[in-house]
Amino acid sequence: MRVLLVEDETSIASFIAEGLEEEGFAVDVAHNGKEGLRLALENLAEYDLILLDWMLPGASGIEICRAIRKEDQTVPVIFLTAKDTVDDVVFGLETGANDYLRKPFAFEELLARMRVLLRSSTGEQNTFHYADIELDLVKHQVFKAGAPLDLTQKEFALLELLLRNKGKACRRTRIIEKVWDIHFDHDTAVIDVYINFLRKKLDTPGQPSFIQTLRGIGYRVNDDA
Amino acid sequence: MRVLLVEDETSIASFIAEGLEEEGFAVDVAHNGKEGLRLALENLAEYDLILLDWMLPGASGIEICRAIRKEDQTVPVIFLTAKDTVDDVVFGLETGANDYLRKPFAFEELLARMRVLLRSSTGEQNTFHYADIELDLVKHQVFKAGAPLDLTQKEFALLELLLRNKGKACRRTRIIEKVWDIHFDHDTAVIDVYINFLRKKLDTPGQPSFIQTLRGIGYRVNDDA
DNA sequence: GCGCAATTTTTAGCTAATTTTAAGGCAGTC
DNA sequence: GACTGCCTTAAAATTAGCTAAAAATTGCGC
């Protein structure tokens, strides 16, 4: 996870940067608005999240935020600021920011809010389940009726895709792109084989499979359990 | 846009509900935790956003939030609360909430934060319906009176075309081009057969068919339902 | 670097679902 | 009432996906 922090007060900047680095984030720091703007626009695709000070020499946080939103509507942006009137909050959020922290704030609160935004921007979530099947991303393990089960990497990735999209149809092209990273047209039966693996390991005997086949389309794990 | 508001103080509840209704939201209000939990779980798919008071008689906002997150990881949840220590904020966000407002808050700020969250969760139109028939593009599934129904690829594509053009005539040549990708003149009865399949699967017995035959032209699903 | 085990991919026959064709009957239009 | 276009059903043709087994590849310990 890579974060851009734009903050002119060096003491605050290094406090945040160090804290985040301890948490495993890669942090780029800009100490004024101009530099922040440059970094943001140059490497926009690189950043998973952007922290912006409101008052900055060079270019204000609002200007940077607007410039970012022109290019990318999805990267989460959090304002860090001493300003605290309601109008400013509203203005900040309307500008395209996703959240807003009033200084002084506790580092833990910043972390928690970052995690929420990262979770939702990447659709990140720790566990997925269907009926008695549970997939845990953190432990990188799957459970069937509470019992741990060993899946191979590909099996795990395929199951993750299906469960992340519970209720939605997963098209074959999407599956082959996401799990196998094959982007050109390719007629292969690997998907079928792996669906078969998952069914063998995870279906309850005597029951219909937890994976629906959508003939000509792909597969779907139903919504209702 | 439909919102569930769980708030026990009636004055606050009606202030928020009225304000949101003025903004065009449909608001359901629950005045205690139990009712909130019931409404949330019963109609979860209905709500585009959920507002939860932290301290509630019956079941706390946290409990409700956890229960919601078990079922649905995507619907945005905002906490409204008087609690304001950092730990509580962190706890609330870790519980799976997307945002947090400290009372008293300005109504404008609530609106702004709601809009941020809704922006990310709304997409383009992906369902079409006629009477009790619903076609869901994302799930790639059709429902008749709420019951899921499996259509084959061609059936699905034909129904999609008809429903996308509800009220308009679909000429046979257009159908054969869009669904069968046949662009030259071709006399085939395949359309008739598939119209028949759809009627068999989706018509309500004793009622006229939901697909009108336009003799010499093609077919049409009427506008008025 | 080698050998073994686990994983991944390919292959191919098989099966079942879908799609298409065909044909006789019915209905609307002139 | 005859012609045309549509309905309905059944059967044939086609296709997609299932499964098992073999082949290829990768990863790991020595």
Going residue by residue through chain B, which has 225 residues, state the pLDDT in tens, using 9 for 90 and above.
788 999 888 888 888 888 887 677 888 999 988 888 888 888 877 888 999 888 777 777 788 888 888 777 778 888 887 655 555 555 555 666 777 777 767 676 788 778 777 765 654 457 888 989 999 988 899 999 889 998 999 999 999 999 988 888 999 888 998 888 877 766 788 999 999 999 999 998 888 899 999 988 899 998 865
Q: CA(A203)–C1'(D19) in Å?
A: 16
Averaged pLDDT, A12-16? 83
Contact B191, B217 (CB under 8 A): no
Summarised one tens digit per residue, pLDDT across range A18-75 is 778 766 677 888 888 888 888 888 888 778 899 988 877 777 788 888 888 888 877 8
Specify the pairing of strand A77-81 against strand A141-144.
Answer: unpaired
Helix axes B33-42, B61-71, angle to 10 degrees: 10
Look-up of token digits 């979530």: A125
B89 touches A at CB < 8 Å: yes
Asked whether residue B193, judged by its CB, lies under 7 Å from any atom of the DNA or RNA strand D, the reply is yes
The amino acid sitting at B80 is L
The predicted-structure confidence for A133-187, as pLDDT tens digits, reads as follows 999 876 778 999 888 888 998 999 899 999 988 888 998 988 987 788 776 667 7
Give the separation between CA A150 and CA B155, rounded to whole angstroms: 39
What residues pair up with A30 in beta bridges, in sequence order?
Answer: A6
CA distance B160 to chain A (A): 15
d(CA B152, CA B141): 10
**Nearest chain A Cα distance for residue B176, angstroms:** 19
Q: Is the CB of A189 under 7 A from strand D?
A: yes
Inform me whether the C-beta atom of residue A120 falls under 8 Å from chain B C-beta atoms: yes
Q: What is the pTM of this model?
A: 0.58
Which of B86, B98, B106 lies at the smallest CB-CB distance from A116?
B98
Distance CA B2, CA B27 (A): 6
List of A residues 139-168 with CB within 7 A of strand C: 150, 152-155
What is the distance in angstroms measured between the alpha-carbon CA of A215 and the sugar C1' of D17? 8
Cβ burial, residue B154 (10 Å; 0-12/13-18/19+): middle
**Taking CB atoms and an 8 Å limit, are B86 and A98 in contact across chains?**
no
- B89: burial class by Cβ within 10 Å (0-12, 13-18, 19+)? buried
**pLDDT of B152-164, one tens digit each?**
999 999 999 999 8
Nearest residue to C20 (CA, C1')?
Answer: B190
**B23 and A CB contact within 8 Å:** no
Strands laid side by side in the B170-171 sheet: B170-171, B218-221, B211-214
User: For strand D, is any atom closer than 7 Å to the CB of B177?
Assistant: no
Beta strand spans in chain B (E): 2-6, 26-30, 49-53, 77-81, 99-102, 127-130, 133-136, 141-144, 147-149, 170-171, 211-214, 218-221
pLDDT tens, B177-197? 888 887 776 678 899 999 999
Neighboring chain A residues of B106 at a CB cutoff of 8 Å: 86, 90
For tokens 């209704």, name the residue: B21
- CB count within 10 Å of CB A152 equals 11
